[in-house]
Amino acid sequence: MTSTCAYHCRACGGHFTSLEAFDAHREGPAGGNRTCSFPESAELVELTGTCKISDPTTPSVAVTIYSTERAARARDYFGDTNVRQTASANAKPATAA
């Protein structure tokens, strides 16, 4: 399956399939001074696809495009909108004393 960059981040050059995915890599208060975070830490799944947004005359091929597919599944599984926090906590090595 080939994906297409639908939301291109001019700040960090990231490619995203949906506004939800784009939003997931932005941190900070809504309407405030939001900054880019690494998509890897935003529970996004990596896809490979094409971006025609960064340069319409010369589309970038085989670029990494981020989707919320995995995040959406995880949210369904946990039935909790707080899944990002839960998942990142689980990703850390268990260091409980």
> SS3 letters for the chain?
CCEECCEECCCCCCEECCHHHHHHCEECCCCCCCEECCHHHHCCEEEEEEECCCCCCCCEEEEEEEECHHHHHHHHHHCCCCHHHHHHHHHCCCCCC
Selected range binding Zn ion among 41-49, 53-61, 72-80, 84-92, rule: CB under 5 A: 53-61
Identity of the residue, 37 or 86, whose beta carbon is nearer to Zn ion in the bound complex: 37
Contacts with Zn ion in 18-47 (CB under 5 A)?
36
How many residues make contact with Zn ion (CB under 5 A)? 10
Identity of the residue, 4 or 86, whose beta carbon is nearer to Zn ion in the bound complex: 4
Please tell me whether residue 61 binds Zn ion under the rule CB under 5 A: no
| Interacting residues toward Zn ion by CB under 5 A | 5, 8-9, 11-12, 14-15, 36, 51, 53
